[in-house]
Amino acid sequence: MTVQDPAPSLEAEQSGITQPAHTPFSMVLRRFLRHRAAVVSAVFLASLVLVCVAAPLFEAWLGTTFADQDLFGRYAPPSPGHPLGQDEIGRDVLIRLLYGGRVSLLVGVAAALCAAVIGSLVGLLAGFYGGRLDALLMRFTDGVIALPILPFLIILSAIDLKKLGVPQTIALSDEVSLYRIVIVVSLFGWTTVARLVRGGALSVRQREYVRAALALGASNARIMRVHVLPNVVSPIVVAVTLSIGHLILVESTLSYLGVGIQLPLPSWGNMLVNAQDLIYSAPALAIYPGLMIFLTVIAFNFLGDGLQDALDPRATSQKR
């Protein structure tokens, strides 16, 4: 976050110079640590990521994979070999949850980042240049916001990639539903960031340090990169964190509707679909992925709140 100089050559010669005790980063960290729900959420999410990344290790340990079926073990209760039991075709629930977590987190984070890049670009151009370009881009943004997203996403998800000229090997691979959903979701998710960045850029471009840079003859691209973007990055970080939770929900919804992540790749959303017919006979199969979605989304929201308070303490004091 903080823009600390990445140590050019001269710093080495002048060792012995002490860093100031109250760097902006340490202040942000201290404020963040005061926010207990956010700290708990950060720890939870970090462990979740760690465990999901380590999913292949669990596979090796349990001697099964996320796709391995065992028709003699349908609906088996938890056992040492299957800590959370087995599903309707005898797959290990824990491992599917972990792989589902990988997919859901990956989709959430990747889509949020893509959306942030698009949104930052649009917002930066609109806010910095203002005038007609601003009006044009913001009306376009309003248009995207006003679109009924779900039907649109369903249509986009149903596009046959082969007919678009995408090579068969890619269009028919298992992961294509993953890429597709990241792209589709980020195409609609950038509007929040665009508006935030535009607002920030509008106010930053009036600051005297921007005028000073103009007087130096710095190019607009340089001013946007060096002076405007770093000073609007806090709201971007908060918006991205909050939107990850939202995008995980969108992914679940799309997967639930059958246009998201396609089997055999598990995601929390499509695990819920499989479980819906069995909600009375095997409620656990619905509860596990549902609970994971719930906890993860809520953790990202707490984390976003905590970051907001840490990065922009003035907003907090206004709230209370």
Partner 1 sequence: MQASLVRADGLQIVFRSGRATHVAAQDVTFNLAPGESVGLVGESGSGKSSIGQAIAGLLQPSAGTIDIAPSTAPWPTVQMVFQDPAAALNPRRPVRRLLAEPLEVLSRAMARTVLQGRAVDDLVVAAARAVGLRDEHLQSLPHELSGGQRQRVCIARALLMQPRVLILDEPTSALDLTVQAQILNLLSDLRREHGLTYLFISHDLAVVRHMCERVLVLQHGRVVETGASDQIFAAPAQAYTRRLTEAAQMQPAI
Inter-residue contact 202 to 127 (CB < 8 Å): yes
Q: How far is residue 287's CA from residue 303's CA, in Å, rounded to a whole number?
A: 24
Contact range with partner 1 by CB under 8 A, out of 118-126, 147-155, 214-222, 276-284: 214-222
Q: Is 146 in the site for partner 1 (CB under 8 A)?
A: no
Q: Considering only residues 30, 34, 36, 211, which one is a binding residue for partner 1 as defined by CB under 8 A? A: 211
Inter-residue contact 237 to 309 (CB < 8 Å): no
The torsion of the CA quartet 153, 157, 161, 164, rounded to 10 degrees, works out to -20
Contact range with partner 1 by CB under 8 A, out of 20-28, 116-124, 191-199, 304-312: 20-28
Q: Which is nearer to partner 1, 19 or 281 (CB)?
A: 19
Q: Is 131 in the site for partner 1 (CB under 8 A)?
A: no
Q: Is 292 in the site for partner 1 (CB under 8 A)?
A: no
R_g of the chain, CA atoms, integer Å? 23
90 DSSP 8-state letter? S
Q: Considering only residues 50, 158, 164, 216, which one is a binding residue for partner 1 as defined by CB under 8 A? A: 216
**Given CA atoms 154, 156, 160, 166 in this order, what sign does their dihedral have?**
negative
Print the binding letters for residues 217-246 with partner 1: x by CB under 8 A, - otherwise.
xxx--x---xx--xx---------------
Contact range with partner 1 by CB under 8 A, out of 19-27, 151-159, 257-265, 269-277: 19-27
Q: Is 4 in the site for partner 1 (CB under 8 A)?
A: yes
Q: Can you name the residues that pair with 296 across neighbouring β-strands?
A: none
Q: Considering only residues 12, 20, 63, 160, which one is a binding residue for partner 1 as defined by CB under 8 A? A: 20
Buried-exposed string 199-235: b where 16+ CB fall within 10 A, e elsewhere: ebbbebbeeeebeebeeeebeeeebbeebbbebbbbb
Q: Which residues bind partner 1 (CB under 8 A)?
A: 2-5, 8-11, 14, 17, 19-20, 23-24, 207-209, 211-219, 222, 226-227, 230-231
